[in-house]
Structure formats: C-alpha cells, structure tokens
C-alpha cells in the first residue's frame, strides 16, 4: 500500500511538473499528514526535489516539488526498428546527446549481434557515464524477462536480449516492444502526460498499437497486447504478412504494403505520375506515394481509399472496445492532409460523439525511435 501511494504521488508530480504538498493532498484527496510523510520519504530517496516557492496569495509561501533531475548521459538507447537500427546516448529526462540511424542491409541483419557489439563497445568507450541500456524492438516482447519472443522483421524467436547484453556489459538492461515504448513516450514526454486511458496506433514498415488503461501500460497475459497489425481485415487478400498470415492489417496498409501495391499496379500497366521514377530508380518510397497523393494521382487515390477503409475499421474496433480519451497516430502516411482528413471524416460517420474520443497526430512521429528508449526508463523510474 505504501509503495502504491509513493507511485501515485510520483505520477502526480510528473503530470503537474511542479506542485506543492497541499496541492497534492487536494488533488489526491488524501490527508495532508499522509502526503507529507510520503513526500519526506521520497525526498530522502532522492526521487523528488524541492525547487522553488509558490507565489503567495497572502499566507505563507508553499514549497514546490518536482521530480529529481538527472541530465547526465547515463543511458544507451537501442531501437530495433523494422528497417533500421537507431542507437543513441541520452538522459532519463529525454535529453539526447548523440543519436545514429543505421539502415539495415541483408549483411547487417545476417551478422546483427557482431555488428551491434562493435557499436556498443565504441559508445561505452566514449561515454563513460552510461549505467543502463534500454532496448526497444518490433514484435512480441516479454519486457519482464527481457526476451524477444517473436520479431518477424528480424526472424527472431525467444532471443534473450537482456541476458545477452547484461552478461557481456555488466550493466542493467531493459527491453520493451517498440509501439508500447511509443505509448510510454507520449506518457512521459508527449501529449498524454495527464491522460489515463489512451491508445497509440503506429503505421510504418509494420503496424502495431499500444494501450494505456487506468494509467497503466497494458501488456496482456502473454505479452502480446496491441498486435493490431496481425488482425485479419481482408480474408480475400493476396499479400502475405510478415507473421505468415494472409490479409492482416499490416499486409494491407503498412508502408511496405502500400508501395508494393502501387509498384505492382504500375508494372501491370496502370498509369501513375510515379511511373518514370519507378522505371528509373527501380523502387519507390512512402514520400513518393504521398507526393502522388498530393498531386491527385488516380492510382494513389485508389490505394489511399482502400487504406482509409481498413484503418478506419481498426480505429472503430479500438474506440468501441476500449473507449479511450485519445488515440495518437504515428506514421508518415498520417502526414498526408488528405488521408488524415478522410480517416477523421469516415470514423466520425460510424462512431457516436458520446464516446468522447479524440484522434490526434504525435509530435514525435519522426523521432520516436530516437526518444522511446529513454521514455521507457523515465516511466520505470517512477514505477520502480
């Protein structure tokens, strides 16, 4: 019970950023003596600090409390994204001192651990202050044991990441699923600091979601919550998903799926303003697709319409089942004003306003894999 109360006070201080003891007691509706006792213990443990005096309203000035700042480069963050590695040095407050993005090639994937060890060795040699390693990875993750249960993009099963890195480097290692880490990013540094129930939907090279219920990250019984990308949305689909199934949301609306669709149709003779670029370069990027969409390219519009339909089904399921305060969208495709507007229009036509939802874009979508490892430890520092 005492630990739960400590966690609740830490959460309130994080949400408010600065708050007095008496304001904490009012907010939590607890006895001021109880709040004072727990605050004293948290100060003793150096979890929080007294920062300044609250502006006086006539009586004695109240001292404000905030979380203890640690701006040192104490964390090595490693992100195993579907198509790249991102490795950075940062603090528990989310300050990034250095970050490096490495596009994956077949050779790197084949020798991924050897490659990774070389990079980590260099980082640890340069940054002596590093005390912890935070790893995020796509796919099913048992965060408690630090195991990658299944990562379709890396073809991993039951890889003990935590054990491997702790034995080699003798530092504390934390492992989390990438989209769950995005939810922690929103909770720690983003737009959901004060939200207790929200969902993150990420559409990139893969598709996934993560869920906060009653101010807690929902993991699921077998660490597989939020695997929305592997929900079948097209039983008659032709594209096989990275998980092996046919017609999954990921195989229909991910960046890779959209590019495969438009490239295939162009090769079959359908007209698109991207035809010459595909012929010249041999491939297209999601930015190319978004450009074509902005130019009202008919083929791009057709594929976008199909994607809107399936994304809306997913959002309908999320909102109807969980009734979140907010749904946060990550992904390049949502940066298309046309596509985003069409999704909002369609979801409004099938949901009722009384459900009280709000859909918004993340401010971190371009830098999620850079910041997410540090958000994981920020969140855990409060929970533990």
pLDDT tens track for 114-167: 999 999 999 999 999 999 999 999 889 999 999 999 988 888 999 999 999 999
pLDDT tens digits, one per residue of 261-274 = 999 999 999 999 99
> Cβ contacts of residue 306 below 8 Å, gap of 6+?
252
Predicted confidence (pLDDT) at residue 44 exceeds the cutoff of 60 = yes
pLDDT, residue 3, reads 75
Predicted confidence (pLDDT) at residue 7 exceeds the cutoff of 90 = no
Q: Residues 295-300: what's their mean pLDDT?
A: 96
Predicted confidence (pLDDT) at residue 353 exceeds the cutoff of 80 = no
pLDDT, residue 348, reads 92
pLDDT, residue 69, reads 67
pLDDT, residue 370, reads 96
- Residues 323-333 as b/e (b if ≥16 CB within 10 A, e otherwise) read ebebbbbbbbb
- % of the chain with per-residue pLDDT over 70: 97
Q: Is 114 exposed, middle or buried (0-12, 13-18, 19+ CB in 10 A)?
A: exposed
Range in 75-89, 217-231, 303-317 the model is least confident about: 217-231
CA pair distance 300, 132, nearest whole angstrom: 45
> Cβ contacts of residue 259 below 8 Å, gap of 6+?
283, 284, 285, 286, 289
Tell me the pLDDT band of 66, cut-offs 50, 70 and 90.
Answer: confident
Highest mean pLDDT among 101-115, 168-182, 219-233: 168-182
Predicted confidence (pLDDT) at residue 108 exceeds the cutoff of 70 = yes
Q: Does the structural domain 1-67 have CATH classification 1.10.10.10? A: yes
Predicted confidence (pLDDT) at residue 61 exceeds the cutoff of 80 = no
pLDDT tens digits, one per residue of 194-203 = 899 999 999 9
Q: Residue 45's beta-bridge partner residues? A: none
Tell me the pLDDT band of 232, cut-offs 50, 70 and 90.
Answer: confident
pLDDT tens digits, one per residue of 82-102 = 889 999 999 988 889 999 999
CA pair distance 256, 237, nearest whole angstrom: 15
CATH code at 192-362? 3.30.420.40
> Cβ contacts of residue 298 below 8 Å, gap of 6+?
271, 272
Same fold, 1-67 and 192-362: no
Query: What's the whole-number average pLDDT of the chain?
Result: 90
CA pair distance 94, 375, nearest whole angstrom: 7
> CA end-to-end span of the chain, whole Å?
14
Q: What is the DSSP string of 116-165?
A: HHHHHHHHHHH-TT--EEEEEESSEEETTTTEEEEETTTTEEEE-HHHHH
Q: Are 151 and 138 in contact (CB under 8 A)?
A: yes
Tell me the pLDDT band of 60, cut-offs 50, 70 and 90.
Answer: low
Q: Give the torsion sign (CA, 167, 171, 172, 176).
A: negative
CATH code at 75-185+370-381? 3.30.420.40
Task: Tell me the domain boundaries of the chain.
Answer: 1-67, 75-185+370-381, 192-362
Q: Residues 353-379: what's their mean pLDDT?
A: 91
pTM above 0.85, yes or no: no
Predicted confidence (pLDDT) at residue 57 exceeds the cutoff of 60 = no
């Amino acid at each position: 019970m005492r630990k739960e109360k400590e966690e609740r006070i830490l959460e309130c201080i994080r949400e408010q950023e600065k708050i007095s003891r008496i304001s904490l007691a009012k907010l939590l509706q607890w006895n001021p003596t109880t709040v004072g006792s727990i605050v004293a213990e948290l100060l003793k443990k150096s979890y929080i600090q007294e920062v300044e005096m609250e502006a006086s309203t006539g009586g004695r000035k109240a001292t404000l409390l905030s979380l203890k700042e640690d701006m040192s480069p104490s964390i090595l963050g490693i992100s195993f994204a579907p198509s790249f590695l991102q490795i950075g040095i940062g603090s528990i407050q989310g300050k990034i001192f250095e970050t490096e993005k490495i596009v994956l090639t077949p050779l790197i994937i084949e020798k991924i651990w050897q490659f990774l060890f070389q990079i980590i060795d260099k980082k640890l040699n340069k940054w002596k202050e590093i005390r912890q390693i935070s790893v995020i990875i796509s796919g099913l993750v048992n965060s408690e044991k630090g195991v990658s249960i299944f990562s379709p993009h890396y073809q991993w099963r039951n890889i003990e990441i935590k054990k491997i890195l702790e034995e080699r480097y003798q530092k504390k290692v934390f492992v989390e699923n990438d989209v769950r880490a995005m939810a922690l990013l929103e909770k720690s540094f983003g737009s959901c600091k004060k939200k207790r129930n929200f969902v993150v939907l990420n559409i990139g090279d893969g598709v996934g979601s993560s869920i906060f219920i009653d101010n807690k990250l929902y993991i699921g019984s077998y660490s597989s919550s939020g695997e929305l990308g592997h929900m079948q949305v097209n039983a008659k689909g032709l594209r096989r998903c990275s998980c092996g199934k046919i017609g999954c949301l990921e195989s229909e609306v991910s960046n890779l799926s959209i590019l495969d669709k438009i490239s295939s149709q162009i090769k079959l003779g359908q007209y698109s303003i991207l035809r010459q670029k595909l012929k010249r370069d041999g491939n297209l990027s999601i930015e190319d697709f978004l450009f074509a969409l902005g130019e009202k390219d008919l083929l791009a519009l057709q594929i976008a319409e199909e994607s809107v339909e399936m994304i809306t089904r997913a959002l309908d399921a999320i909102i109807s089942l969980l009734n979140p305060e907010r749904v946060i969208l990550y992904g390049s495709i949502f940066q298309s004003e046309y596509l985003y507007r069409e999704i909002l229009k369609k979801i409004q036509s099938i949901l009722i306003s009384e459900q009280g939802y709000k859909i918004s874009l993340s401010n971190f979508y371009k830098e999620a894999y850079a910041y997410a490892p540090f958000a994981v430890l920020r969140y855990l520092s409060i929970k533990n």
